[in-house]
Amino acid sequence: MNRISQDNIDKIPEIRLVRGAKSGSKEDFCALYGLYKDRLYRYALYRLGDATDAEDAVSECVMAAWKDIRSLRDDHAFSAWIFRILHNICAGMIRKKIESREALEKAAESLPLVSDAGASKSAELADALSRLTDEEREIILLSVVSGLTSKEISGITGITPGSCRSKLSRSLAKMREILS
């Protein structure tokens, strides 16, 4: 007997929305966007370090996803698919910043502070993130900020799920060391 995992049961409504969006339903696509908008924005914000850039990246991502939703081959992979689109858009925006001589360090330093009370912690976190390699930072952001699984991160980065888990563990340990 084929058992359905709890993760698959939890994703059934999402899969229905994906299928509806692939069939051209704007309402289903908007509902999908509602499920992902906060995680997409947080990922873009931490990746780009600027609220306006993050909003632009998410907007561009959503437009690209709507345009290309029919190309999604595996309905269960929507999460990894849309984050891959956002990942590529953010990478392109970063390349443009570098080409215009804006350093990545400036992006990390310009992370908005959560509140006055959390200002020093936010600054410390931004500094710790800036000290990681691009790959380490990417894995942490995709996992911790965006909530993706190692399998989904694997689909975005090309690293095996096992390596993702190992690198995430090492990267988090490195951040703990930096923050202590």
The total number of residues shown for the chain amounts to: 180
Question: Where are the domains positioned within the chain?
Answer: 10-179
pLDDT at position 3? 45
* pLDDT at residue 11, as a whole number: 59
Can you list the residues of the chain whose pLDDT is less than 70?
Answer: 1-11, 98-120
Q: What is the pLDDT of residue 22?
A: 95
Q: Contact at 8 Å (CB) between 164 and 140?
A: no
Joined tokens for residue 23:
């069939």
Q: Which of 90, 88, 83, 84 is nearest to 40 (CA)?
A: 83
Residue 129 has what pLDDT? 86
pLDDT of 51: 92
CA atoms within a 13 Å half-sphere pointing along the CA-CB vector of 96:
9
pTM of the model: 0.61
| Token pair for 106 | 């400036």
pLDDT for res 102? 40
Phi-psi domain of 101 (left: phi exceeds 0; alpha: psi -120 through 50; beta: other) = left
CATH, domain 10-179, list 3.30.1490.190, 3.40.50.1370, 1.10.287.130, 1.20.140.160: 1.20.140.160
**pLDDT tens profile 97-115:** 766 544 344 444 554 544 5
